C-alpha cells in the first residue's frame, strides 16, 4: 500500500488525540494484518469511498474507550459504555477520519467517510477480503493506553 495513503491517517490520529484527548500519541510499528483478525472489545468501522475505497477500523479496549469518553465529556466519570459514551468515542473516530480525509484532499486524493458503526464484545473477528490491511498502532502513557487504526484499501 502506498505510504502516501497511510501517512495522513497517522498524522490525523496524532493531531486529534492531542487536540481532543490531550495526549501525545506515539506511533508504534506499522504492520500488515492477515485477514481475518481479532479486534479489541470496542471496534468502530468506517467506510472509505471516493479515490480510495475500503474501510478504516479503530479498535481499543473498554477501559481506554471510557477514559477517552470521559475526557471528551468534560471530565465526567464514565464507568460504562452508555449510549452517550459510545457516541463520544464514535465522534473521536469521525474526527480522526475527517482529518485524514482533509489531509488526503491536500494531496488531490478525494475520500469521503461513511457514518461509523460500533461493535462491542471481546474477540470480534474482522475480515477484509481482497484488501491489504495496514495496522497503525498509536500508544500513550508509556504504552499503557493504545488504539489500533486498521486501514484496508481495495486495489492496494
Extents of the domains making up the chain:
3-154
Rounded (10°) angle between helices 83-105 and 3-16:
130
Peptide bond into 36 cis (omega under 30): yes
Which residues lie across from 38 on neighbouring strands?
Answer: 125
C-alpha count within 13 angstroms, C-beta hemisphere, residue 20? 22
Give pLDDT tens digits for 5-32: 899 999 999 999 999 999 999 999 999 9
C-alpha cell at 56: 478504516
Q: What is the mean pLDDT of the chain?
A: 93
Q: With respect to CATH, is domain 3-154 assigned 3.40.1550.10?
A: yes
Give 103-132 pLDDT, tens digit per residue: 999 999 999 999 999 999 988 889 877 778
| Residue in the structure block whose three cell numbers are 486498521 | 150
The mean pLDDT of 69-93, rounded to a whole number, is 96
- Could you tell me if 94 and 13 are in contact, meaning their C-beta atoms sit under 8 angstroms apart? no
Task: Tell me the percentage of the chain whose pLDDT exceeds 90.
Answer: 81
pTM for the model: 0.92
- SS3 at position 60: strand
Amino acid at each position: 500500500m502506498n505510504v502516501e495513503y497511510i501517512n495522513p491517517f497517522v498524522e490525523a490520529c496524532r493531531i486529534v488525540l492531542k487536540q481532543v484527548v490531550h495526549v501525545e500519541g506515539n506511533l508504534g510499528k506499522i504492520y500488515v494484518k492477515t485477514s481475518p483478525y481479532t479486534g479489541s472489545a470496542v471496534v468502530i468501522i468506517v467506510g472509505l469511498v471516493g479515490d480510495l475505497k475500503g474501510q478504516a477500523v479503530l479498535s481499543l479496549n473498554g477501559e481506554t474507550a471510557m477514559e477517552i469518553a470521559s475526557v471528551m465529556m468534560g471530565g465526567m466519570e464514565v464507568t460504562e459504555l452508555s449510549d452517550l459514551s459510545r457516541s463520544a468515542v464514535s465522534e473521536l473516530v469521525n474526527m480522526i477520519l475527517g482529518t485524514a480525509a482533509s489531509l488526503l484532499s491536500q494531496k488531490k486524493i478525494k475520500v469521503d467517510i461513511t457514518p461509523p458503526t460500533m461493535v462491542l464484545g471481546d474477540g470480534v473477528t474482522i475480515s477484509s477480503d481482497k484488501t491489504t490491511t495496514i495496522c497503525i498502532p498509536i500508544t500513550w502513557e508509556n504504552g499503557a493506553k493504545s488504539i489500533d487504526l486498521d486501514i484496508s484499501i481495495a486495489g492496494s
